[in-house]
Amino acid sequence: MFALKILLGLAGLGVVVIVHELGHFIAARIAGIDVEAFSIGWGKPILKKQIGAVEYRLGMFPLGGYCKMRGENEFEEAYKNNQNKISPVKGTFFGAKPWQRIMVAFAGPFFNLVFAALVFSIIWGVGFTTVDMENRIVLASDVSGEDTAFPANVAGLESGDRIIAIDGAPIETFGEIREKIAINPEKTLSLKVERGGAVQDMAITPNLDKNTGAGTIGVYYWLDPVVSEVAQAGPAEAAGLKQDDRILTINGRDIEYSAALIPVLEERPQTLAVDFERDGVTTRTELRPVYTNEGADLGFSFHMLEYRTPGLSPFAAISKGLSEAWKTLAVSVKSLALLFKGIDLTQAVSGPVRITYMLGDVAAAGFSSSVADGIRNMADFLCLISIALCVMNLLPLPVLDGGLIALFIIEIFKRRPLNPKFISIFQTVGVVLIFALMLFAVFGDVLYLVRL
């Protein structure tokens, strides 16, 4: 399964990279810049084919890629030869006008954004089914039994409440609650809460989780403890549990909602005395859980809710796709600011290894349900990565597309070519910074995989 996740992740990242480099490729051709090579992956080519003036390659290392343009490193030769400017040659990168080079640099991130909007549009045009929990909550303090002042407690929320709106936006599922809270740490939000048939207005300020950079308020989802599926030859089947059984108590503890299992299983008991109700009759059985690195396997799952979103018309789907892409872009930009709020960067910053694994994990989880779910899950995550790549590449840092854009904007204002020495120092500093960042990210990735 681990190998499958990696393969799925590599395939997904390959798509995002192809889109990014294709943007540079097309813009370069439009600008009259000769492209010498187009590669997916880095390192020595394991496959290559010459088509016209371009050599298409498949690199040995399937992470990243590049579009090699003629003369893109001319500044190095000019610097070595003590020239104070780069001699423009038609068809080369520095032979193009500054605004054309800006267009080429911007095209890669722009294509990533367009790709995400297109994929989102297709998803909404086809329609999809999601599995989620209702908008009913359980206080984390009620689960743990500890008197902790989580934001939910401070706001006056109670277990069983339904959050029906956040900052005026209607809420139907717990996933929507989680999304709104996660992207608004340390920001006061207005809530509409339904309790006992009456609606109350409340305000809540999520905490910043410094491990993830996300906002948290100290709640779980409410999920009735009714058995949905029983795994074949699993612990639940051996214990005699069946679909639609309602779990009443485990080891003497009342199980009013699924989260009540958490403190029971944290003690890692070898056997569980389970009282359950079937057809109005209460029965006791003994269940032996199987413990793995991912937690306890009880061999059954609880009923969740299915939400079907019908396919939209082409115009509506495109409008929704653009809206989703813009929203994801805004969240990505906002997330960058959180990096400077003292969060644990080894957990919050993902490198290529972790992204590959996470992408494969999301896809594999979806495919385990159905092919359609696997494709949609992977497409959603690809959109997120594609937009994140867009944002990161537009940062005005050396080596990145944004750094090149900054250089060429300076050239436009100076109205004369930049000194090759300045470009060389600028790019060298960038290489060092990016290499250091990659080492840090890979170190965090290794810790992540070790924890898995």
pLDDT at 436: 64
Provide the percentage of residues in the chain whose pLDDT is more than 90. Answer: 30
pLDDT at 277: 93
Q: Which domain holds residue 113?
A: 1-130+305-425
The tally of domains found in the chain comes to 3
Same domain, 189 and 248: no
Above 90 in pLDDT, residue 264? no
Above 90 in pLDDT, residue 392? no
Above 80 in pLDDT, residue 263? yes
Q: Is there a domain that residue 60 lies in?
A: yes
Alpha-carbon distance of 96 to 103, in angstroms, equals 11
> What confidence tier does 351 reach under pLDDT thresholds 50, 70, 90?
very low
Alpha-carbon distance of 133 to 284, in angstroms, equals 28
CA neighbor of 159 nearest in space, from 182, 185, 193: 193
CATH number of 208's domain: 2.30.42.10
Alpha-carbon distance of 96 to 420, in angstroms, equals 16
Same domain, 297 and 309: no
List, in sequence order, every residue forming a beta bridge with 26; answer none if it has no partner: none
Spatial contact of 265 and 289, defined as CB atoms under 8 Å apart: yes
Same domain, 7 and 67: yes
pLDDT at 77: 76
Same domain, 123 and 7: yes
pLDDT at 164: 94
Q: Is there a domain that residue 452 lies in?
A: no
Q: What are phi and psi of 206, to 5 degrees?
A: -60, 145
Above 50 in pLDDT, residue 366? no
pLDDT at 10: 64
Buried b / exposed e along 69-87 (16+ C-beta atoms within 10 A): bbbbebbeebbeeeeeebe
Same domain, 366 and 409: yes
Range in 47-56, 76-85, 234-243, 311-320 the model is least confident about: 76-85
pLDDT at 353: 46
Give tens-digit pLDDT for 393-406. Answer: 888 887 788 888 98
Percent composition of the chain: helix, strand, coil (DSSP 3-state, to 5) = 45, 25, 30
Alpha-carbon distance of 127 to 169, in angstroms, equals 22
Q: Is there a domain that residue 181 lies in?
A: yes
CA atoms within 13 A on the CB side of 119: 24
Provide the percentage of residues in the chain whose pLDDT is more than 70. Answer: 82
Above 90 in pLDDT, residue 118? yes
Query: Which of the two residues, 29 and 332, has the higher pLDDT score?
Result: 29
Domain end among 196, 221, 246: 221
The tokens for 281 are 């009759």
Above 60 in pLDDT, residue 452? no
Q: Is there a domain that residue 434 lies in?
A: no
Q: Is there a domain that residue 314 lies in?
A: yes
Highest mean pLDDT among 226-240, 289-303, 422-436: 226-240
> What confidence tier does 149 reach under pLDDT thresholds 50, 70, 90?
confident
Alpha-carbon distance of 324 to 121, in angstroms, equals 9
Give tens-digit pLDDT for 327-349. Answer: 888 877 776 666 655 555 445 54
Beta strands 189-195 and 198-204 are antiparallel
HEC string of 163-181 equals EEEECCEECCEHHHHHHHH
Query: Which of the two residues, 309 and 63, has the higher pLDDT score?
Result: 309
Q: Which residues contact 217 (CB under 8 A, 6 or more apart)?
A: 150, 151, 152, 155, 157, 181, 204, 206, 207
> Mean pLDDT of all residues in the chain?
81
> What confidence tier does 153 reach under pLDDT thresholds 50, 70, 90?
very high
Residue 298 CB coordination number (10 Å): 24
CA atoms within 13 A on the CB side of 311: 6
Above 70 in pLDDT, residue 24? yes
pLDDT at 363: 42
Same domain, 243 and 310: no
Q: Which residues are catalytic?
A: 21
Spatial contact of 386 and 19, defined as CB atoms under 8 Å apart: yes
Domain end among 191, 221, 251: 221
pLDDT at 352: 46
Same domain, 86 and 143: no
Amino acid identity of 165? Answer: A
- Strand runs (DSSP E) across 240-385, as ranges? 246-250, 253-254, 272-278, 281-287, 290-292, 295-297, 300-302, 305-310
CA neighbor of 428 nearest in space, from 14, 76, 126: 76
Q: Is there a domain that residue 443 lies in?
A: no
pLDDT at 367: 41
Same domain, 254 and 320: no
Spatial contact of 19 and 115, defined as CB atoms under 8 Å apart: yes
Same domain, 110 and 214: no
Same domain, 172 and 119: no
Same domain, 174 and 215: yes
CA angle 294, 276, 285 (to 5 degrees): 75
Spatial contact of 111 and 17, defined as CB atoms under 8 Å apart: no
pLDDT at 184: 86
Above 80 in pLDDT, residue 259? yes
Domain end among 303, 326, 356: 303
Q: Is there a domain that residue 71 lies in?
A: yes
Give tens-digit pLDDT for 279-315. Answer: 999 999 999 988 877 678 888 888 887 777 888 899 9
Same domain, 75 and 187: no
> What confidence tier does 16 reach under pLDDT thresholds 50, 70, 90?
confident
Q: Is there a domain that residue 447 lies in?
A: no
CA 237 vs. chain centroid, Å, equals 35
Above 50 in pLDDT, residue 269? yes
Alpha-carbon distance of 190 to 126, in angstroms, equals 34
Crossing angle for the helix pair 371-393 and 314-338, nearest 10 degrees? 50
The tokens for 127 are 């329609």
pLDDT at 188: 93
Classify residue 224 by burial, with Cβ atoms within 10 Å: 0-12, 13-18, 19+. Answer: middle
